[in-house]
Amino acid sequence: MHKINVLLVEQDSEWKRHIETRLQAEPDLCVIGSVHAYLDAIAMARMLDIDVILLEAIGGEQTAWTNAIFEIASLGKTQMIMVAAAAIEEWICEAFVYGVSNYLLKAHTESLVEAIRAAYAHQSAIHYIAAGVVRQELARLKRREWQRQLTESEQAILRLIDSGRTHAQIMNELSIAESTMKTHVNRILRKLKVPSSKEAARQAKMKGIV
């Protein structure tokens, strides 16, 4: 049986001992070492055949661990799981952007063994806490993309349509000519690919544009 070689990057000695004991009890896992510094983790990843690295996220050292994730990911041979004491949205997003397979909380060690096996098999199911943050970030980015499709004037018109204003009322409120109003509406319909201004307002509200 091939054993999955695991490296721990951890500064909490008590938690490290607990995890080492837990992992060594599994017949298919082998803890081949542990280091405190992120630079040491990079060096170990370059020298040894490491399958999975459990990498601790430490507050105040975000630049160091993002650099470590990037450098190790660029080697193309080692999977990484970030382990942290808290589910900090910024940390989770950056960890995935730079190349980790999963993000686990230290309080959820019961998930760790299966997470390592899944990462090794390139079948990582993102932990539900991290998945929630990732979904929110993807939704935010998509909303921003949709918003960029529309000018500020077009968004203002959509908000007024959504509030129940007629085209005449909007023209009066924004002090724009009928031809300008028609131009804005036609552009909105084309960009959102809808047949009417009411449908455009409904779609914009659903997408979080207005």
DSSP state, 108? G
Q: What does the pLDDT read at residue 40?
A: 94
| Structural domain boundaries in the chain | 4-139, 150-206
Alpha-carbon distances of 126 from 104, 141, 169, 175, rounded to whole Å: 9, 19, 49, 51
* Contact assessment for residue 111 and residue 128, using Cβ atoms and an 8 Å cutoff: no
Polymer length of the chain:
210
DSSP state, 124? P
Q: What does the pLDDT read at residue 124?
A: 66
Which of left, alpha, beta for 49 (phi over 0: left; psi -120 to 50: alpha)?
beta
Q: Would you identify the CATH topology of the domain 150-206? A: Arc Repressor Mutant, subunit A (1.10.10)
DSSP state, 59? T
Q: What does the pLDDT read at residue 110?
A: 81
Measured distance CA(161)–CA(169) in Å, rounded: 10
CA angle 153, 177, 183 (to 5 degrees): 55
* CATH 3.40.50.2300 at 4-139, yes or no: yes
Q: Please list the rounded mean pLDDT of every run of 10 residues in the chain (210 residues).
A: 91 90 93 93 94 91 90 93 89 87 87 92 76 74 82 92 92 93 92 89 82
96 HSE (CA, 13 A, CB side): 20
- Fold equal for 4-139 and 150-206: no
178 HSE (CA, 13 A, CB side): 1
Q: What does the pLDDT read at residue 134?
A: 73
